Amino acid sequence: MSDQRKPRIAVVFGGRSPEHGVSCVTAGSVLQAIDRERYDVVPIGIATNGQWVLEADDTARLEITDGKLPEVNEAASSVVLANGQLVVSNASDVPSVIGEVDVVFPLLHGPYGEDGTIQGMLELADVRYVGAGVLASAVGMDKHYMKTIFQASGLPVTPYVVIRPGEWETDAPACTESVATLGYPAFVKPARAGSSFGITKVRDESELPAAIAEAKRYDPKVLVEAYAAGAREIECGVLEGLDGAAPEASVVAEVKVGGDHEFYDFEAKYLPEESTRLDVPAHINPRIGEQIRDLAVRAFTAVGAEGLARVDFFVMPNDAVVINEINTMPGFTPLSMFPRMWAESGLDYPALVDRLITLAMRRPTGLR
Cβ neighbors of 250 (< 8 A, separation 6 or more) are: 236, 237, 238, 239, 293, 341, 342, 344, 345
Q: Is residue 74 part of a domain?
A: yes
Which CATH number belongs to the domain containing residue 190 in this structure?
3.30.1490.20
Indicate if 151 and 291 belong to the same structural domain. yes
Dist CA 27 CA 332 (whole Å): 8
Give the whole-angstrom CA distance, residue 347 versus residue 350. 8
User: DSSP assignment, residue 191?
Assistant: T
Residue 353 inside a domain? The answer is no
Does 290 lie in the same domain as 147?
yes
Q: Is residue 298 part of a domain?
A: yes
- Into how many domains does the chain fold? 3
Higher pLDDT, 22 or 274: 22
Burial 226-237 (b: 16+ CB within 10 A, else e): bbbeebbbbbbb
For residue 2, being part of any structural domain is answered with: no
Do residues 236 and 335 share a domain? yes
Residues 100 and 205 in one domain: no
Q: Which carries the bigger pLDDT value, residue 93 or residue 256?
A: 256
Q: Which of 238, 236, 239, 237 is nearest to 358 (CA)?
A: 239
Task: For residues 126 and 151, give the distance between their C-alpha atoms in angstroms, rounded to a whole number.
Answer: 33
Whether residue 364 is contained in a domain is answered as no
- ∠ CA(230), CA(235), CA(238), 5° rounding? 155
Say if 1 falls within a structural domain: no
Specify whether 201 is located in the same domain as 318: no
148 and 274 share one domain: yes
Instruction: Give the residue-averaged pLDDT of 18-41.
Output: 93
Q: Which of 195, 226, 257 is the last residue of a domain?
A: 226
Same domain (yes/no): 252, 336? yes
Are 29 and 95 within one domain? yes
Q: Which residue has the higher pLDDT, 276 or 77?
A: 77
pLDDT of residue 261: 45
Residue 334 lies in a domain: yes
Q: Which of 160, 162, 123, 115 is nearest to 142 (CA)?
A: 115
What CATH number does the domain containing 32 carry?
A: 3.40.50.20
Regarding whether 268 and 189 lie in a shared domain, the answer is: no
Q: What pLDDT score was predicted for residue 90?
A: 67
- Between the alpha carbon of residue 279 and those of residues 6, 48, 337, the distances in Å are 38, 34, 9
So what's the pLDDT on residue 94? 58
Burial of residue 48 (number of CB atoms within 10 Å: 0-12, 13-18, 19+): middle
pLDDT at 8: 96
∠66-69-74 over CA atoms, to 5°? 125
Kindly state the average pLDDT of the residues 75-89.
87
Query: Are 35 and 116 contained in the same domain?
Result: yes
Is the preceding omega at residue 281 within 30 degrees of 0, hence cis?
A: yes
Residue 270 is part of which domain span?
139-157+230-346
Would you say residue 362 lies in a domain? Answer: no
Strand partners for 309 = 238
Q: Is residue 2 over pLDDT 60?
A: no
**Boundary residue ending a domain (174, 197, 226):** 226
Closest CA to 252 of 271, 266, 270, 232: 232
Residue type, 20: H
0.85 exceeded by pTM: yes
- pLDDT band of residue 275 (cuts 50, 70, 90) is low
Task: Tell me the CATH number at 242.
Answer: 3.30.470.20
Residue 84: HSE in the Cβ half-sphere, 13 Å Cα cutoff: 12
**Torsion sign, CA atoms 133, 136, 17, 341:** negative
242 and 94 co-located in one domain: no
**Please, what's the b/e burial string for 137-164 (b: 16 or more CB within 10 A of its CB; e: otherwise)?**
bbbbbbbbbbbebbeeeebebbebbbbe
95 and 144 share one domain:
no
DSSP label at residue 157: B
